[in-house]
Chains A and B, each alone.
Chain A
Amino acid sequence: MQRDLPKNDISLLILSVLTGGDRHGYSIAREIERESADTLKMREGTLYPALRILEQDELVESRWETPERGPARKIYTLTHKGQAEQAKRAQEWRQYANVIGTILGGRKPDENPI
């Protein structure tokens, strides 16, 4: 199964990937693809506008780093505010998925979704 990644979800996925550590843009895109086992396909160009908005909202910070080899790269870091926002949005998403799962599967919603 392969699905296009809805634009609404890109920011949450970026925040979630950055909880694992600082990354540059290309690395974020690859990590999303890897974590989803190539199920989610994103138009990679949507990554940078989403990152700009996350920066504006102070959820993510960026800095240029020059490695020993190769050109300088822009590295993104999750801020404290970004960590809190990620936790909040992830919780909302789990609740939403739980409800949808309940409707599709006819089971009772979990009281405390993981």
Chain B
Amino acid sequence: MKTQFENSGLEAYVGELERGLHGLSETRRTEELTEIRQHLNASVAAHQEMGMGETEATEVAVRQFGAARLVSGDLQKALWREKRREKTRMPDTVAAAAFVTVAGSLALVHILAPLTSLLNDPSDVRTTLAFYVFWSVSCLMPRYLLAFLVGRLAPRNGVRGTLLGGWAYLIYSTVCLLVWVATQPGFHLPNGWWDIGGAIISKAIYGVAVVAAPTLAAWLGRRSAVRSAAEWSRTKIF
């Protein structure tokens, strides 16, 4: 009987599997392929004991095992499911936070612009609450979408990262706004109370949009990812 390394048919099949498992780490891929190669070798040997030649035994063993594309695809999905369930890793969380914070910068510009007009020219259409809310929400829509995607791609890290990024962005934008109000030429404390109070209230409303809504979006993304993983497990594996 030939050794595992001399059966070219089997090695060709294992090579095809290896290409299908390209997404795995080297260690993991080697471990998976070692186990599968042993299975196939045992299967070939068993068929040879039944009187088949090596080529025929290999063909039967490989056919019984299934198409390499399907096997590697199923394995990738099973290991992908494992990856999804890993505990939070700090670099991913920080990356998600940075991503969400930067993604919110566009909204910051639009928030500061109408507020500038609010303090300078109360008759400006951009000073209306409706306009303010419109910009607050519409500018954040892409952010909600991004948060959802982050949550879907990194279920655990997405929610935490979005929460962290949301708070970082809220604090950053609040400080920017208060600094801007305090440095206005006509700013005096008695008259400025109203502006500061308004800024705090508006920031509280804005905070919901900045922190709670993206976090909710990320959570929905996470739920979606976990559900699809569970659904896949039921239909494809279990």
Contacts and interface: CB of A to CB of B under 8 A. Distances in A.
Nearest to B46: A30
Contacts of B85: 56
Given A45-B70, A48-B35, A74-B35, A11 B42 contact: no
B225 to A, nearest CB: 15
Interface residues of B, number: 30
Interface string A51-90: 0110010000000000000011110000000000000000
Given A43-B64, A44-B66, A71-B38, A52 B238 contact: no
Interface stretch (B50-58, B74-82, B170-178): B74-82
Contacts of B74: 45-46, 48-49
A11 B65 contact: no
A40 interface: no
A interface secondary structure, majority: helix
Interface in B11-46: 31-32, 34-36, 38-39, 42-43, 46
Given A48-B35, A49-B75, A53-B81, A43 B42 contact: no
Contacts of A74: 31, 35
A11 B237 contact: yes
Contact of A45 (B31, B34, B71, B81): B71
B233 interface: yes
A99 interface: no
21 contacts: A7-B237, A10-B238, A24-B38, A25-B35, A26-B42, A29-B39, A43-B65, A43-B66, A44-B66, A45-B74, A46-B66, A46-B71, A48-B78, A49-B71, A49-B74, A49-B75, A49-B77, A52-B75, A52-B79, A53-B238, A56-B78
Interface of A: 7-8, 10-11, 24-26, 29-30, 43-46, 48-50, 52-53, 56, 71-74
Interface of B: 31-32, 34-36, 38-39, 42-43, 46, 64-67, 70-71, 74-75, 77-79, 81-82, 85, 233-238
Given A48-B36, A49-B78, A71-B38, 17 more contacts: A7-B235, A7-B237, A7-B238, A11-B238, A26-B38, A29-B39, A30-B46, A44-B43, A45-B74, A46-B71, A46-B237, A48-B35, A48-B78, A52-B79, A53-B233, A71-B34, A73-B38
